[in-house]
Structure 1
Amino acid sequence: MRRDALAGVHAMDPIHELKVRADILHARLESNDGGALARLRVLPELHRADDATLRTKAADVRRKHCLSVVARECGFASWEHARHVLGGHTDVDDFGTLLHAKNAGGILNQWFASYAEAFAAQRSLPDRPRHYLLAYKRHLLITGPSFVEALGMDPDDPDWEAIGWDWVHPIDAAARSRLYYKRLVAMRR
């Protein structure tokens, strides 16, 4: 397949985005980049490692470890967890913390333990302002445009309408995948 055709295949693919990040991290680790070494501390087995230990362990780091690092940095428990969630599986019960915005502490949201309650509450609200049904770990929240902006995303992005403003059970799974990608890009900034 030609390179330009491959670019189209991976356009806005959140899993591919994380694989690229893992490859970059792996290359930086091979060059003993201090910042890359410090990122290894997200792995449970290296959480308390000092710099000397990290330098020693870096020689044994493989791509699978880098995939775990980038997945954890994005709020997932593991690479498999990230692949499952970002891959659009419908049996997801833990969405991770990717939809967490550190700068959104002052924004009020409605929280729910069950999808049925969240969905009913969202549908009972007026269309304007728009209400987004999002997921955080095993919980659901209904929020407004300011929270979406705090995530670094455009609340008027047509993909929100394409998913029916419902992250958990989107009308269009491909649109949610694009939104995941946009969130990952926003996190890089």
Structure 2
Amino acid sequence: MELAVNELKIQAKKRLKHLKTDEQDFALFQKKHKLALGGSDELQLKHVLLSSARELGFTSWQQQVNVFSGQSSTEQLDMGTLFYPRGCHGLTNEWFASYHEAQQVMAQDSENKWLLPYKTQFMVVTRDYMAAFNLPLEATNWLDDIKRDMARSYNTPLWDKIVVSILRHRQ
């Protein structure tokens, strides 16, 4: 369950390197994340890791690591907003406070729906929503292998692989 955490670190290191060489992007990053740094030379990996966590709906890098590494308790687990890509804001989805309710709705049409966590809630989504992830065929096959349920498959090797694919293909 370390693939997703390692992917986050790799992306953060690449972003840090870019921000240290592009003053305009650094200025935008600093403004967006309300950092009081004198210049890009003061930017550290910890700043980029925290920004990554916040962009995915977590309050801290440690919370994100705990979730992505499977160390969080499944009771009231906050999955952040990883499964809510930008391209889905205009789509209608079915939202549920309990996993059991979401699972019942999904079971009615499990060939055309997917169950995804969002913070402490659950969504049942359609093919249009899933298309916004831009996932390769291999990852969509993994979703079929877990019966299209990213909540139930939490803390499994396939969940970890799917999350890595989502991280790599998010826009």
TM-score when scaled to structure 1? 0.74
Tell me the secondary structure at the aligned position of residue 95 of structure 2.
strand
Cα distance change, pair 87–172 in 1 and its aligned pair in 2 (3 A): closer
Q: Which residue of 2 aligns with 1:142?
A: 124
Q: Which residue of 2 aligns with 1:79?
A: 61
Q: Which residue of 1 aligns with 2:151?
A: 168
Q: Is residue 66–residue 72 contact of structure 2 (8 Å, CA) maintained in 1?
A: no
Determine if the alignment matches structure 1 residue 68 to structure 2 residue 58: no
Question: Which stretches of structure 1, 4 residues or longer, exceed 6 Å deviation after superposition?
Answer: none
1:104 to 75, 88, 105: 88
2:24 to 34, 44, 66: 34
The alignment covers a number of residue pairs equal to 167
- Give the counterpart letter for 1:186 in structure 2: H
Question: What's the offset of the Cα at 1:57?
Answer: 5.4
**CA–CA distance in structure 2, aligned partners of residues 171 and 165 of structure 1:** 12
Determine if the alignment matches structure 1 residue 151 to structure 2 residue 133: yes
Question: What's the offset of the Cα at 1:15?
Answer: 1.4
TM-score when scaled to structure 2? 0.81
Q: Is residue 95–residue 124 contact of structure 2 (8 Å, CA) maintained in 1?
A: yes
Question: What's the offset of the Cα at 1:172?
Answer: 7.3
**CA–CA distance in structure 1, aligned partners of residues 118 and 132 of structure 2:** 15
Deviations 1:45-83 (A, max 9, x none): x2xx6xxx54x1544332222211222233332211221
Question: What's the offset of the Cα at 1:32?
Answer: 5.5
Q: Is residue 15–residue 83 contact of structure 1 (8 Å, CA) maintained in 2?
A: yes
Deviations 1:152-187 (A, max 9, x none): 225881211222211112177111111111111111
- Structure number with greater Rg is 1
| Structure 2 residue ranges without an equivalent (≥5) | none
Tell me the secondary structure at the aligned position of residue 117 of structure 2.
strand
Determine if the alignment matches structure 1 residue 126 to structure 2 residue 112: no
Tell me the secondary structure at the aligned position of residue 133 of structure 1.
strand
Q: What is the Cα-based RMSD across aligned positions, in Å?
A: 2.6
Question: What's the offset of the Cα at 1:30?
Answer: 3.6
